[in-house]
A = this chain, B = another copy of it.
Amino acid sequence: MSTLPQLLGPTGLGAGSLRLSPRTAAGRSGKVPAGRPKTVPTQPLKPIPGLYHHAHVEPAPDLVDDIDRRTKEWAFGITMYERGFEKEYDAFVFGYYTCLCYPDYASREHIMAAAKMLAAENAVDDIYCEDLGGSPVGLGYRLCLAQAAFDPLHCTDEYQSAWEARLRQDGPRHGYRSAFEHLNTIASPAQLDRERHDMIRLHLGYLCEAAWEETQTLPTVDEYLTMRQFNNFRPCLTIVDAVAGYELPHDIHDSHHMQRVIALASNATTIVNDLYSYTKEMNGQRPHLNLPYVIELNEHLSREDAYAKAVDIHNQLMHAFEEEGVRAALAYPHPAVSRFITGLSAWVAGDHHWHATNHGRYQLPAWL
């Protein structure tokens, strides 16, 4: 292991530039302050034992309420979700989730761009791929047409008009288009290009997972981890600079070193999702692969040992992210670099807190 100091996390490098609200007691002990707004969840924090993580930054309740209300009005106003899915939508507490993950934000309009992207990504996942009517069959064309909502067709007038009209008739595609229009108001062309790239990675990852489901194929552990590097939270992490109102210089962003830092942070936080959603996925109606289960099947371990091995993989990735992040900050002495890495770390911490308090969706395995 490297001896580099682990300075990261929301209290690490560059944190001086963050707008931090003090954490409430609820974030740590589960006690709910009187008069807490309903859009801030009230569940106690229950982290997975042994999971390496950092404390989150608790967002201001009035901010959460505002972002939550506006995101929901937008999502149902453009019929990205149909009214029948209101309960499922509410279970995500998008306003709280977004505010948890972007403590460094330039304005409420900036954080709204992130909230809309997050909600739109969930709509496509729910409605095209998963619980709310999704299917692996025909997914390739639905996701290609969805990607084109922000990587638009360039065609002759006749078909350009037909394409535009059709785009707005489909809830998830309309959601993508509208969310990206908002992102366009706060991000540079380079930042938009990065987000398009990470979104198409996400879609290819969905298609990999769908192909395994459709063909009833068990991937090896490294193949599963490859899929999960594509089907990944990375599109949320990529925009931490845009949401905060600055830009990671493109030559640093594109460097092998920074690409590795971004991938490691994104992979660690994505495996958190596998670990917290394990119980839900193992009890679901449709079979659903996740890292502990793929390890169990490939390596003939007990459920408990396979789960513990997945926790260990996560922890190794977190340490690798933090070590590589320190190296990157030292290699590129540009203030945007340490701020960006802090932004990644804050996203990871916020996402962990959301998973560890969202007991409506997630329950720890019985043996923990």
| Chain A residues proximal to chain B, CB less than 8 Å | 137-145, 147-148, 151, 153-156, 159-160, 162-163, 166, 188-190, 192-193, 196-197, 200-201, 203-205, 207-212, 214-215, 217, 219-223, 225-227, 229-230, 250-251, 254-256, 259-260, 263-264, 267, 313, 316-317, 320
Contacts and interface: CB of A to CB of B under 8 A. Distances in A.
13 contacts: A137-B214, A138-B217, A139-B140, A140-B204, A141-B212, A141-B223, A148-B226, A153-B222, A155-B225, A159-B221, A159-B222, A190-B251, A193-B254
Most chain B beta carbons < 10 A, residue from A151, A205, A217, A264: A151
Contacts of A207: 140-141, 143-144, 204, 207
A225 B140 contact: no
Contact of A200 (B140, B201, B210, B254): B201
Interface centre among A137, A250, A316 (most CB of B within 10 A): A250
A223 B149 CA distance: 12
Contacts of A155: 222, 225, 229, 267, 313, 317
Nearest to A162: B222
Contact of A225 (B143, B159, B214, B256): B159
B226 A145 contact: yes
Most buried by B among A207, A229, A320: A207
Contacts of A201: 151, 200
**3 cross-chain pairs, A with B, having the tightest CB-CB distances, nearest first:** A140-B211, A140-B207, A144-B208
Contact of A227 (B141, B190, B219): B141
Given A166-B222, A211-B138, A255-B189, A154 B204 contact: no
A251 B189 CA distance: 7
Given A219-B141, A223-B141, A223-B145, A197 B193 contact: yes
B210 A140 contact: yes
A58 to B, nearest CB: 30
A209 B159 CA distance: 18
A137 to B, nearest CB: 6
Nearest to A210: B140
A204 B143 contact: yes
B208 A140 contact: yes
Nearest to A203: B204
A29 B251 CA distance: 48
A128 to B, nearest CB: 12
Given A144-B205, A215-B138, A260-B154, A162 B220 contact: yes
Contacts of A215: 137-138
Given A154-B264, A255-B189, A263-B154, A166 B220 contact: yes
Contacts of A227: 141, 144
Contacts of A192: 254
Contacts of A217: 138, 141
Contacts of A156: 313, 316-317, 320
